[in-house]
Structure 1
Amino acid sequence: MRKLACIVLTALVVALAGCVTINVYFPEAAAQKAADQFIGTVLDSSGQKAPPAPDKNAAPAHDNPPAAQHPSAMLLDLLVPAAQAADVPNLRVQTPAVQAIHERMRTRFQNALQALLDSGAVGFTRDGLVAVRDAAKVPLSERAQANAAVADENRDRAALYREIASANNHPEWEAQIRATFAETWIEHARPGWYYQGVSGAWQRK
């Protein structure tokens, strides 16, 4: 009788696992934290590099091992929490491509973009890029260089959003990652810098 009960319980567990719908939602909080760290170190004039992200996949240590469980109960614990955990995925950000983009953007900010932002010639757009707002604030002899810096910056920003989405095997997240970074660039804007509001109009921070 006990053997029959175990068989029935195991069958129910397998059926339950098959009915669990695994929904992978965009990890907004993790994306916000990643954007905060990335942008903060790009705009840091001290030249600080982005620190390596902690290994979020590392299993937490347990001082007290769990008590022995019935095999069927252990199977249930393995299946259901695993499906629930998929609802809140980690966000992988530290890749060689992202690091290379970070270094280029940090160097470009120090060498060209910071002065353009300080003068008001360039501002942050509402879609996570930069744009020339007032070309008259750039001497004529330097405008070609300024336009090249803006184009290079936008190329790297687009690559950054795409790379983070691809690194997490969710290319469909690119638009959400871009939106999160767009808000964070504006949050990190210094007093006097320009940015686009929701309507697209330029505002000064």
Structure 2
Amino acid sequence: MRKLVYLILTTVTVALVGCVTINVYFPEAAAQKAADQFIGNVLDGTGKAPAEPKKDTPPPGNGPQPSAMLLDLLIPAAYAADAPNLQIQNATTEAIRGRMRARVQGALGGLLDSGAVGFTNDGLVALRDTAKVPLSQRAQANATVADENRDRNELYREIAQANGHPEWQDQIRTTFAKGWVKHAHAGWYYQNAAGAWQKK
């Protein structure tokens, strides 16, 4: 009889584990918060992120059900997949942030202020109006844009890889693209979704 009970329990356990699918989705809210903080630091030196909403505490007596506790014992990662945390700060991203901040305080900031350069809808920067750059400074302006885009591409790739999800790179790029526009200073240019330039 005991063997039969163990066999049934083992079969049910294997069936439960086999039926549970853990989806690791892109943590959009966490990514936007991290992007806002990174971009705020690069453009303004603030690094401010939006305030966190207060979490509601469940009423007493509504704790986990016994079946949920059994599932947690069998698959402890199930809860971890519900609210992934996006890591954005490491030695590589900090070095990129420092270079980007120096560029915004220097040549790139001047190009953005003049309207010669703007934010593209794919999270990069582009030379928008060469007439706003004196001929003698165009080579330097092109080099500044190239350096900035190299760092931006490396940043998006590094964040995705550092979080163990290289497939998130495009979503991280999209999140940052929205953030650059959101934090752009008045008078700076950006591309809308259709690729047309607009002044903030």
Q: TM-score, normalised by structure 2?
A: 0.82
1:80, distance to aligned residue in structure 2 (A): 4.6
SS at match of 2:155: helix
SS at match of 1:43: helix
Residue in 2 aligned with 1:102? Answer: 97
Residue in 2 aligned with 1:62? Answer: none
SS at match of 1:86: helix
1:82, distance to aligned residue in structure 2 (A): 2.4
Match of 1:88 among 80, 83, 89: 83
Q: TM-score, normalised by structure 1?
A: 0.80
> Unpaired runs of 5+ in structure 2?
49-65
Separation (CA, whole Å) in 2 of partners of 1:146 and 1:34: 29
1:75, distance to aligned residue in structure 2 (A): 4.3
> Unpaired runs of 5+ in structure 1?
52-69
Kept after mapping to 1: 8 A contact 2:72/2:78: no
Residue in 1 aligned with 2:16? Answer: 16
1:3, distance to aligned residue in structure 2 (A): 9.0
1:85, distance to aligned residue in structure 2 (A): 2.8
Specify the code of the residue in structure 2 equivalent to 1:137. K
SS at match of 1:92: coil
1:155, distance to aligned residue in structure 2 (A): 0.3
Task: Provide Cα deviations, 1:62-87, integer angstroms capped at 9, x if missing partner.
Answer: xxxxxxxx9x9854332355224324
Separation (CA, whole Å) in 1 of partners of 2:5 and 2:199: 70
Separation (CA, whole Å) in 1 of partners of 2:69 and 2:113: 60
- Identical pairs, percent: 72
Kept after mapping to 2: 8 A contact 1:13/1:75: no
User: What do you get for the CA RMSD once the two structures are aligned?
Assistant: 2.6
Specify the code of the residue in structure 2 equivalent to 1:35. A
Find out whether 1:123 has 2:148 as its counterpart. no
Find out whether 1:41 has 2:45 as its counterpart. no
Residue in 1 aligned with 2:59? Answer: none
Specify the code of the residue in structure 1 equivalent to 2:34. A
SS at match of 1:93: coil
Separation (CA, whole Å) in 1 of partners of 2:79 and 2:190: 39
- Equivalent runs, 1:1-205 vs 2, <5 Å: 8-9=8-9, 11-44=11-44, 47=45, 75-80=70-75, 82-205=77-200
Kept after mapping to 2: 8 A contact 1:13/1:76: no
Q: Which moved more, 1:11-20 or 1:120-129?
A: 11-20
Specify the code of the residue in structure 1 equivalent to 2:199. R
SS at match of 1:182: helix
1:41, distance to aligned residue in structure 2 (A): 0.4
